[in-house]
Amino acid sequence: MRLFVAIELDEAQRAAVAARSWAMQEALGAEARRIRWVAPDHLHITLKFLGEVAAPMLEAARRGVRAAVISPPFAGRLGRVSAFPATARPRVIWIGVAAGHEPLVALAEMLDRALVDDGFLPEAWPLVPDVTLGRLRRNAQIFVLSHAIGPGDATNCAEFHVHSVVLIESVLGPADPTYRTVETVRLGGLPVSGRVSS
């Protein structure tokens, strides 16, 4: 199973981010085809990527998530669009977090410690919270993105409220991956559901 732990966005937040993504695609024109854009229902904030997890480690992953999620609910706000490593040579296009950065990082660090205790590898770098919009397609020619970002940020009004974290399985396919919820855990450590759903 290919697993990661994330904060899910609600419908209004996904709509705001998707609108920003569509605006960028229109501004890019033909260049937009060089990017594999994230589908609106897949938009999220990743806290930790676990990678391929063997079936015997699944319960350890669930246990690690439950142990880590002891912080209270909090709010945040999405901010500016940027790219890694730079807008002049983008590989990954993302929207950063303008408010709520500190509790997100603290939550990710808590989660990382708990999962390391259960046998998973520690993160090499501190979390930079973001919502990924798209990734440059394999072998696509590098181009300058800055002209498509624009001076404004429609996502500055996209507030998010973190009440739970989700352990998600990513099932790779010929086109976009399929996400399946393995477990949702409320902040405070109470499991909401252990069922796998589409």
What integer is the mean pLDDT of 1-16?
A: 92
Domain assignment present for 86: yes
How many domains does the structure of the chain reveal?
Answer: 1
Task: Show Cβ contacts of residue 169 under 8 Å, excluding neighbours closer than 6 positions.
Answer: 1, 2, 3, 179, 180, 181, 182, 196
Global confidence as pTM: 0.87
What integer is the mean pLDDT of 152-162?
A: 69
User: HSE (CB half, 13 Å, CA atoms) of 26?
Assistant: 7
Task: Note the pLDDT of residue 82.
Answer: 87
Give the CATH number, domain containing residue 101.
3.90.1140.10
Q: In what helix (H) or strand (E) does residue 25 lie, and over which residues does it extend?
A: helix 11-28
- The whole domain housing 132 covers 2-193
Domain assignment present for 198: no
Tokens of 123: 């993160």
pLDDT band at 169 (very low <50, low <70, confident <90, very high): very high
Task: Return mean pLDDT, the chain.
Answer: 85
Domain assignment present for 129: yes
Alpha carbons 152 and 159: distance in angstroms, whole number: 16
- pLDDT for 78-109, tens place per residue? 988 888 887 778 889 999 998 899 999 999 99
